[in-house]
Amino acid sequence: MADARQGADLEARSPWALGGYRLARVGPASGPVDADVRVPGSKSVTNRALVIAAMAKGESVLSGILRSDDAYWCIEALRSLGVPVEVEGDVVRLAGCNGQFPQSEARVYTGAGGTTARFLTAALAATTGEYEISGSRRMNERPMGELFRALRALGTDIEPLERPDTLPIRLKARGLAGGAIEMSGAQSSQFVSGVLIAAPYARAPVTVRIVDHIVQHAYVHITLDMMRAFGAQCAAADDLAVISVEPGGYRGRRYDIEADASTACYFFAAAAVTGGRVRVTNLARGTRQPDVHFVDVLAKMGCEVTSSDAGIEVRGPATLRGGFSISMKEMSDQTLTLAFLAPFADGPIEVTGVGHIRHHESDRIRVIVESLARVGVRAEEREDGVVVYPGAPRPARLPSYDDHRVAMALSVLALRADGIEIEDPGCVSKTCPTFFHHLREMGVPVDLVP
């Protein structure tokens, strides 16, 4: 694959990154893991909160932010637009611009973050000015066309500078006219969320009609919940087929960022694959984050799952169960995790409904098949998923494809396999720079090689 040949997208690494390492030798675990873990804040919630707070009227204080590459570049992008942002530990204080960024002309760099690129592009369309927006090498390859079409329908002039439907672009913003638009949600919910985040600053109400389906409904609900928390007026059908937003803007406030359910899943999977116990102490089953439901997949594989005020706990079985097919559409970020657990199950596992993950940081379906082939495990690639068969992984050096979720999910595989080396482990910095530190605290052997 091109991602593996070209290597890491190093320009997207930030001062908050895990840097200076070319390999991670992980595992195998000496026995069942037994640990309580407190995971960092949610990437998805962090970047939504940063953009909404920057647009709001008045000051906001965001606590528990995720200190990762994506958050760093989102903050730096806001600073390039003239938004005052102060960071102390995991607390961010920023003065909102009330819908008009102080810099009416700027070059905006979004790093590798899809949320930053898509949400900020929409937010800038709601203001007045001229902006050149670009991302990292990989972000400049990722699709943006559906968002561009929606913003053009609302009155924005977008000039692609290299390819029709990707960054970089020159955006000439005259504010959003408002009105009814049709959008597809089949490729990414982030396009829909971007338009919604900008909509309170349109000159008239905005109504979004979804013409097909949204691949991950929960993330749009997270967006709407946060918009309401910052004072926006919005309404939606339960199935999100029609969503309406009234003009009126946002109001600054204090806001706590909840734990990242996606990151928590790698630690739950560690309990599953080793027959051990892991409790994530700062995550509740009531979160809107869809990846929390990965514990239900683990229960299907024979794990014992309990939740209480003390967090969510997973206990792994003596043998993981397979022999089933499952759609991972609503929690597609965990497709990799399930695929690298599947070789240790007692029957094949088929994953469906995730064709859209071919357009993430890597073509994740193909990455699964290629990675398992390198360790001698059979996997069949499908257009919208993969089938993984039981097998005994052999030692191998595995590329991470500059994809944070690949590196973290491969670490789960390594807990039960000898001799697994993961290239470019620093890519975990996109969402969890402390990932390997947490594994070590759980008693897992981790050797980071400069």
- Distance CA(442)–CA(421), nearest Å, equals 19
CB of 63 closer than 8 Å to CB of 255: yes
Going from the C-alpha of 18 to that of each of 205, 424, 433, the distances in angstroms are 44, 10, 5
Burial class (CB in 10 A: 0-12, 13-18, 19+), 399: buried
223: phi then psi, degrees, rounded to nearest 5:
-60, -50
Residue with tokens 């620093």: 426
The answer for residues whose C-beta is within 8 angstroms of residue 46's C-beta and 6 or more apart is 62, 65, 66, 68, 70, 71, 74, 257
Buried b (16+ CB within 10 A) or exposed e, 28-61: bbeebbebebebbbbbbbbbbbbbbbbbbbeebe
Which of 150, 166, 169, 167 lies closest to 158 in space, CA to CA? 169
Half-sphere exposure of 408 (CA within 13 A, CB side): 29
CB of 306 closer than 8 Å to CB of 234: no
Q: Is 333 a catalytic residue?
A: yes
Residue with tokens 């088929």: 350
The answer for residues whose C-beta is within 8 angstroms of residue 195's C-beta and 6 or more apart is 122, 147, 150, 151, 154, 181, 183, 206, 208
- Distance CA(356)–CA(93), nearest Å, equals 35
Catalytic residue among 3, 333, 403, 424: 333
- Distance CA(4)–CA(399), nearest Å, equals 6
Helix (H, G, I), strand (E, B) or coil at 27: coil
Pairing of strands 59-63, 254-256: parallel
Which of 445, 29, 442, 25 lies closest to 275 in space, CA to CA? 29
- C-alpha Rg value of the chain to the nearest Å: 21
Q: Catalytic residues, which ones?
A: 333
